[in-house]
Amino acid sequence: MMKTSLRLAALAAVALVSLPAYADMTVKSSDGSMELALPNGWHDVKPDGASTKIAATDGKGSRVVVRVYPKDDFKDVKALADFAVNKLKLTDNDGVKSEDIQVGGKPAVRISVVGTASNEMRAGYLITILEGDSTYVEVMGRTDASSIAKETPVFGNFATALKIMPAAAAAPAPAPAPAAEAKPTKPVPKQ
């Protein structure tokens, strides 16, 4: 009985180690409009560019970036997907694979591509485009080409782990209006 318990405990420990563990670290965008739970070993970095809301890295070459674009800037989600691939400026690619998926019960597009970046390094990308009420959200994971197969599940989980706050919750609450200063009243003389 004791050996069985030890074996079960060992199997449980191995199972926990093999699953991607998420840390207690949740990164929030500077405007409070979204937040992202990061796996163990990942940490946030300073976002670059006006459209970038969240950026994080594992410190080993993999990176995730969350960007927001107004819907008015693109004809549809497919147009943004094309833009996302073209802005990578790959000198070659092993073919762009695109699929329609569901994220949180809503339609989304997922694109995967491997190619040579302008710095002559082979890189792999998994890009998920989510559609909001007035914006599109791009969740892009990037790593070296040899690691893309291993990182694809992690990058895919970022899209489902992303929480977009309702507009009212994201906007800072207005400061309370200053209370009108009460004037002391004079006692009314008794007659």
The residues spanned by each domain of the chain are: 20-169
pLDDT per position in the chain (191 positions), as tens? 555 444 444 444 444 444 444 456 899 999 999 999 999 999 999 998 889 999 999 999 999 999 999 999 999 988 999 999 999 999 887 779 999 999 988 889 999 999 998 889 999 999 999 998 889 999 999 999 999 999 999 999 999 999 988 764 444 444 444 444 444 455 555 55
Output the pTM of the full model. Answer: 0.74
Q: 20-169: which CATH number, 3.40.50.1820, 3.40.1000.10, 3.65.10.10, 3.40.50.620?
A: 3.40.1000.10
Which tokens belong to 144? Answer: 């070296």
Q: How confident is the model at residue 40, as a pLDDT?
A: 92
Q: Are 20 and 154 in contact (CB under 8 A)?
A: yes
pLDDT value of position 173: 42
Q: How far apart (Å, rounded) are the C-alpha atoms in residues 8 and 21?
A: 20
Q: Which pLDDT score is estimated for 123?
A: 95
Q: What is the pLDDT, as a whole number, of residue 116?
A: 93
If residue 69 lies in a helix (H) or strand (E), which one and from where to where? Answer: strand 63-70
pLDDT value for 106: 87
Pairing of strands 34-39, 22-28: antiparallel
Residues 6 or more apart whose CB falls under 8 angstroms from that of 98 comprise 81, 109, 110, 111
Residue 188: predicted pLDDT: 52
